[in-house]
Structure 1
């Protein structure tokens, strides 16, 4: 092509009239470069067609027309085997009907194959991601959002709203409501963030979790076997762990309600790493030392540091 707009066989309003009985059509010596053969198919009585001395383009844009000229048995195309190419310059003066239209169909077939294969791969990949990785992607999004959220809050110098966000499973909520909350809020005067009370209605759960963790000075994880099996609790402790590593200060307090072996923590590699490298609060080992247990919780909330690493009845190591 020479860059000029293509010219077609007939003007757009050519077929508006009643041409059902048209038998002869002569369009010789025009500036027709690309021919739309479908127009001729709509002329049922056409018997003779003359398109000689037109500057045809020899590429795939005329492939359908070339195929129609060769294969149609109704219309006689005058001197068709003498039509010559004018464009592109590499094909100049070559015979129009000698152009290899098969290469166009192969190209179309190859493109269709590539397109359909890509669609299949995208569908399979999307299905795989949705089935196995959707939570990881959602979690990554909120993790990034949490990072940006915390950075903005630090730049603004905003104070934390809560002293601690309490991460717990619903199966231990009675212990949280009747032991933890009365002791920490009513007796010690801390302000806690709890799912059932402080999450904003209508907001996405992960968004509520992000806001709760980054609006609190600490995250207090009440860990049980049911906690380890909860998807949401896993998201909470991993996000709190990210904040711990990001801020390079202790904002995570681990409170174990049950004796849990190291092997049971294996799927939760982040928490296992934390537990193996720090001292944690153990409720089961303080049956006769409840006052000391709550005192150590208070110390952790006051200082933001780990409770003193001792090996008495209050603390234990994995």
Structure 2
């Protein structure tokens, strides 16, 4: 599209022309004297065109156009002398998110002194991609108010001639250390507008509040911030009692620390108590998992490697050797640690493997056995296994010594009513009992499924 202008024309006002179309490529003829152009409220649906022929243009207003869908990154290349650029309400934030080449949008405008990109839905990454490197030494005012970013753009630190900065009505709630350094560099040099940002006055940003007070309310005195209670107050009012506020914060921090530490200690104590109370259960399931990781497969149904696993104390070996001989002579396949445990494997794993592979478990209860740590451990694993597998009738207790139930370990007492108890014959105590009757009882108990 070519538009011929009068040679003496200096200003062009196209305000409110409702095009509702994409921006076409436009070439102006005789436009060397035009310094002012407003295309405000063209209601363009795309800004993908190119404008040329206005090389001396110094003021351009392209506000209220829908440039979010498409914008030509070279759209301003024909205005090398532009000093004022007004581009509000144009959805530039969306355009920057849709086109990663827009970092060169302002590159041709090396004489730009005043930039207004307010009301454009700029977020942190969008405003950061607004490349203003060629304006570092010339830009005097920058209006990026009413957008959606919550951080001060880092490129602000490079401006040398800024006298007016408007970042009002964004989502800034606090300033980090780098942002505070940037703002400090503008004190006494530039007017900074911060009104309308949702500043937070809380213990979590106490450093920010102390810094704000040190600026002597240059920027913050009249601004509002939200307390942790949800109430709003001015920074000026907060600065009056900031010392008390800081003390309350320290008290709160110590309270939170104390509560957290106490809670942690209580949790640790509870965990320790639970572990000690159910230590065997934890160990049982740990061993189960460990064996599975070693590709160990549990036996199914009634398929067992052994008829019986004999648990005893090593001080009773002579008696156990004879006992084992009688069982094997009766065609019962026995499991004993001395002959069946796998060398090099942990004792606990061997015990669990033996329990899992045996149809019955026999405990030889003697004075020595009651004093044995491993004996209690074997009983606990057996109890857990019997409960887990539903085999409560798998345990046989042989009382070799004359012991009462009150002398039994706690773990055995817990399932005493489910075990088969057989006493070793003692002619002085049981005159009608014989060794043969004893073994008949043992064989009979082992034969029960």
Please classify the TM superposition score into its range, dividing by the shorter chain length.
Answer: 0.5 to 0.7
CA-CA distance at 1:166 after TM superposition: 0.6
Residue 57 of structure 1 is matched in structure 2 by: 198
- Is 1:231–2:376 an aligned residue pair? no
Please list, as runs of the form range in 1=range in 2, the aligned pairs for 1:86-97 lying within 5 A after superposition. Answer: 95-97=234-236
Q: Aligned to 2:318, what secondary structure does the other structure show?
A: helix
Following superposition, the deviation at residue 114 of structure 1 comes to: 2.6
Structure 1 residues 130-163: Cα deviation after superposition (integer angstroms, max 9, x where no partner): 6x43634435647998xxxxxx968x43511111
Q: Once the two structures are superposed, what CA deviation does each residue of 1:4-23 show, in whole Å capped at 9, x if it has no partner?
A: 777456334666x7x9xx9x
Question: How far apart are residue 258 of structure 1 and its match?
Answer: 1.1
Name the structure with the higher helix share: 1
Partner of 2:314: 170
For 1:244 and 1:9, how far apart are their aligned partners in 2?
63
Question: What does residue 263 of structure 2 align with?
Answer: 118
TM-score, normalised with respect to structure 1: 0.66
Return 277-286 or 56-65, whichever deviates more.
277-286
The more displaced of 191-200 and 216-225 is 191-200
Q: Which moved more, 1:44-53 or 1:288-297?
A: 44-53
Note the alpha carbon deviations across 1:20-45, whole angstroms, 9 max, x for none: xx9x9866421452332523775898
CA deviations 1:175-211 (Å, max 9, x no partner) are 22x31222222x2221111123223445554443333
**Structure with max Cα Rg:** 2
Report the count of equivalent residues.
Answer: 281
Which residue number in structure 2 is paired with residue 316 of structure 1? none
User: Given the two structures, how large is their TM-score scaled by the length of structure 2?
Assistant: 0.49
> Does 2:445 align with 1:300?
yes
Cα 1:166–1:269, aligned 2, differ >3 Å: closer, same or farther?
closer
Paired with 1:86 and 1:76, the residues of 2 have a C-alpha distance of 20
* Deviation for aligned residue 1:119: 2.1
Q: Quick one: distance in 2 between partners of 1:26 and 1:96? A: 24
Tell me, yes or no, if the aligned pair for 1:218 and 1:252 is still in contact at 8 Å: yes
Asked whether the 8 Å contact 2:310–2:334 carries over to 1, the reply is yes
Which ranges in structure 2 are unaligned for 5 or more consecutive residues?
Answer: 1-122, 125-147, 290-296
Q: Is the 2:284–2:384 contact (alpha carbons within 8 Å) kept by the matching residues of 1?
A: no
Residues 259-306 of structure 1 show CA distances to partners (whole Å, capped at 9, x for unaligned) of: 11343227455278449x9652314448994344333322332235xx
Task: Give the structure 1 partner of residue 408 of structure 2.
Answer: 265
Q: Distance in 2 between matches of 1:11 and 1:128?
A: 54
Counterpart for residue 174 of structure 2 = 35
Q: Which runs of 5+ in 1 are unaligned?
A: 146-151, 305-318
Q: How far 1:96 sits from its partner (Å)?
A: 3.7
Select 1:159's aligned residue among 291, 300, 303.
Answer: 303
2:221 is paired with a residue of what secondary structure?
helix
Higher relative contact order (CA 8 A, sep 6+): 1
Separation in 2, partners of 1:280, 1:160: 23
Distance 2:257 2:186 in 1: 34
Aligned to 2:292: none
